[in-house]
A and B are shown apart, each in its own frame.
Chain A
Amino acid sequence: DGGITQSPKYLFRKEGQNVTLSCEQNLNHDAMYWYRQDPGQGLRLIYYSQIVNDFQKGDIAEGYSVSREKKESFPLTVTSAQKNPTAFYLCASSTFGQRFQPQHFGDGTRLSIL
């Protein structure tokens, strides 16, 4: 079955530590996205990528970094510069270049601070 896999489901970060969230898709989608979800805040876009080796900042990129070395993979690193990282992180993917371009989501990673 095609889909998006996020891992781990739960992640804990110590103060001053960087952590990396994994996102893999086998839908052959060109575009991938990372969102942060806080209670009552909806989804906020962190980074997105429309093609391998290229990515753009979203609305809340500070304290985060990404890479897109392969079409299937778009890992997100939460750096120690992100002072309030506790949230639910969602990865999504979509086709690119068409008007009908719904995003398909993974099951999320919940990040907490120790």
Chain B
Amino acid sequence: GEDVEQSLFLSVREGDSSVINCTYTDSSSTYLYWYKQEPGAGLQLLTYIFSNMDMKQDQRLTVLLNKKDKHLSLRIADTQTGDSAIYFCAESINSGAGSYQLTFGKGTKLSVIP
């Protein structure tokens, strides 16, 4: 079965870079997503990468994908206090008949120290 793993906590100083790591198990994943959840709110789509890419950059965010090792990372440059949140990695798997289900990791809580 599918399983997505993330470390539960990360603490960084304001202005440093944050790197959040994720491993997944299903090699047939199509898209991989990063979501951000602020306290008491829903999940907000941050960025995504297609499985035939190895890197995607979007302003302060860089996504790296190592398909051989099934390893995904999210780097946040110049981390700000507003980046404090829980970050979820999710893999998209074709479950048949046009349906692509998402499997989420348990989330990494990022704490930014001023």
Hey, which bits of chain A sit against chain B, CB under 8 A? 4, 6, 31, 40-43, 45, 48, 50, 90, 92, 96-108, 110
B88 within 8 A of A: yes
Count B-side interface residues using an 8 Å CB cutoff.
Answer: 25
Q: Which residue of chain A lies nearest to B51 when distances are taken between CB atoms in the complex?
A: A99
A10, closest chain B residue (CB):
B40
Q: For residue A108, which residue of chain B has the nearest CB? A: B42
B92 CB contacts on chain A under 8 angstroms? 99, 101
CA distance A40 to B86 in the complex (A): 10
Q: Does A43 lie within 8 Å of B100, measured CB to CB?
A: no
Asked whether, in the complex, the Cβ of A43 is within 8 Å of the Cβ of B42, the reply is no
Q: What CA separation (Å) do A99 and B44 show in the bound complex?
A: 19
Closest 9 CB pairs of A and B: A105-B42, A97-B98, A42-B106, A105-B43, A101-B100, A43-B104, A107-B42, A99-B30, A42-B104
Task: Pull 27 A–B residue pairs with CB atoms less than 8 Å apart, ordered by A.
Answer: A6-B42, A31-B99, A40-B8, A40-B106, A41-B106, A42-B88, A42-B106, A43-B104, A45-B101, A50-B98, A90-B43, A92-B42, A96-B98, A97-B99, A99-B30, A99-B92, A100-B30, A101-B31, A101-B100, A102-B31, A102-B48, A103-B45, A103-B102, A106-B42, A107-B42, A108-B40, A108-B42
- From known contacts A43-B88, A105-B43, A105-B44, infer whether A99 and B106 are also in contact, taking CB-CB under 8 Å: no
A97–B30 alpha-carbon span in the complex (Å) = 13
Q: Which residues of B sit under 8 angstroms from A50, Cβ to Cβ? A: 98-99
Interface core residue of A41, A102, A104, A110 (most chain B CB under 10 Å): A102
Query: Distance (Å) between the CB of B110 and the closest chain A CB?
Result: 15
Asked if A90 and B100 make an inter-chain contact with CB atoms under 8 angstroms apart, the answer reads: no
With contact pairs A42-B88, A42-B107, A43-B104 given, residues A96 and B99 touching in the complex (Cβ less than 8 Å): yes
Question: Which chain A residues lie closer than 8 Å to B45 at the CB level?
Answer: 102-104
Q: Which of B14-48 contact A (CB under 8 A)?
A: 30-31, 33, 35, 40-45, 48
Cβ B8 vs Cβ A99 within 8 A: no
Find the B residue at minimum CB distance from A33. B102
The CB with the most chain A CB atoms within 10 A, among B41, B42, B44, is that of B42
